[in-house]
Amino acid sequence: MTFERIAIIGLGLLGGSIGLAVRDHLPGAVTTGYDADPATRTRAAERGLVGTVCDSAADAVREAQLVILCVPVGAMAEAAAEIAPALPAEALVSDVGSSKEAVAKALAAALPNNAVIPAHPVAGTERSGPDAGFATLFQQRWCIVTPPDGADPAKVTALSAFWEALGARVEIMDPAHHDLVLAVTSHLPHLIAYTIVGTADDLEGVTQSEVIKYSAGGFRDFTRIAASDPTMWRDVFLSNKDAVLDMLQRFTEDLTALQRAIRVGDGARLFDHFTRTRAIRRSIIEEGQDDARPDFGRSDHGS
């Protein structure tokens, strides 16, 4: 099973990057797309993010074999309801959302007559909108596919092959386990970044100009994360709140232990902790998920 007609709903960073990657790696595929923002549709057409930018979501999916919803997780149900009347019965529906249990339930409820296999490409930048996408976004990044119970194995294989064709490495995972893992690796770090940057901005004794002027590497990198799309991250935290709150509790306990080590002058505990976490950083580089260069090897795309 291969997909020759692909519809992309939402033409921002991820949707645009999928369209461009399909153009480069699956040249025989026909792509259509739609975005709720008219200005985004215009820019997407100018950049050629998809073959045809449609004036409605229904028009975009009318002949599709694969539909990928690239909207914030809080908008998934609405987007699914919008395409439902025009969706071919044989079409497979997927998404790119950062939380999976809530999305799976929303899509299954809105599209009871279609196969739904959620997925999450673990790739992105802090940028958003139709100018943010680029074809190599998924190269050597993981895409986690989270099929529901009873999913057609052939469709799971076809969706996995699609992402592999775009350059991603695919992992099959239970939706609940995905949400727990991503709460640690993505959601909690974003929450911490938003908090630290907000705290610095709120400090009465430090002006905003000083925060910006004297930003060292650590704070600068936090601001990069905290520049991510606010609508997307609001929806992520609300849709994955149980896993995020569990991980936040664990983090709070660990932070309290480090706070005590600093207070009592327990240098050995601090050194051991920092040594262990430094090894994790090295493992990430060895996995090819980041770069050891001082600028993290990031291109102008912020990849």
What's residue 204's pLDDT?
56
Predicted pLDDT of residue 285: 67
In this prediction, residue 198 carries a pLDDT of 84
Amino acid at 131: D
Q: To which H or E segment does residue 5 belong?
A: strand 5-9
CATH architecture of structural domain 5-173: 3-Layer(aba) Sandwich (3.40)
Across the beta sheet with 169-172, what order do the strands follow? 119-121, 142-145, 169-172
CB 235 within 8 A of CB 73: yes
Instruction: Name the nearest CA neighbour of 67 among 13, 17, 120, 116.
Output: 116
What is the fold of 177-286? Answer: 6-phosphogluconate dehydrogenase C-terminal fold (1.10.3660)
Q: What pLDDT shows up at residue 293? A: 59
Provide CATH 3.40.50.720 ranges for the chain.
Answer: 5-173
Where do runs of H (alpha helix) occur along 227-300? 230-239, 241-264, 267-286
Q: How many CB atoms lie under 10 A from the CB of residue 55?
A: 10
* Residue 37: partners with Cβ closer than 8 Å, 6 or more residues away: none
Query: In this predicted structure, what is the pLDDT of residue 200?
Result: 77
- Single pTM value for the model: 0.82
Length of the chain: 303
Q: Between the CA of residue 188 and those of 140, 154, 245, 247, what are the distances in Å?
A: 23, 34, 9, 7
**148-to-71, 104, 108 alpha-carbon distances in Å:** 20, 8, 9
pLDDT of residue 297: 47
The tokens describing 301, both together, are 């795309």
| 124: exposed, middle or buried (Cβ count in 10 Å: 0-12, 13-18, 19+) | buried
CB 48 within 8 A of CB 26: no
* pLDDT tens by residue, the chain, 303 residues: 789 999 999 999 999 999 999 999 999 999 999 999 999 999 999 999 999 999 999 999 999 999 999 999 999 999 999 999 999 999 999 999 999 999 999 999 999 999 999 999 998 777 889 999 999 999 999 999 999 999 999 999 999 999 999 999 999 999 999 999 999 888 898 899 888 888 877 775 666 667 767 666 677 778 878 888 888 889 989 999 999 999 999 999 999 999 999 999 999 999 999 998 888 777 766 766 565 655 544 444 443
* CATH 1.10.3660.10 domain span(s) along the chain: 177-286
Please report, for residues 128, 153, 209, the alpha-carbon distance to residue 146 in angstroms, rounded to integers and kept in the order given.
25, 12, 45
pLDDT score of 205: 62
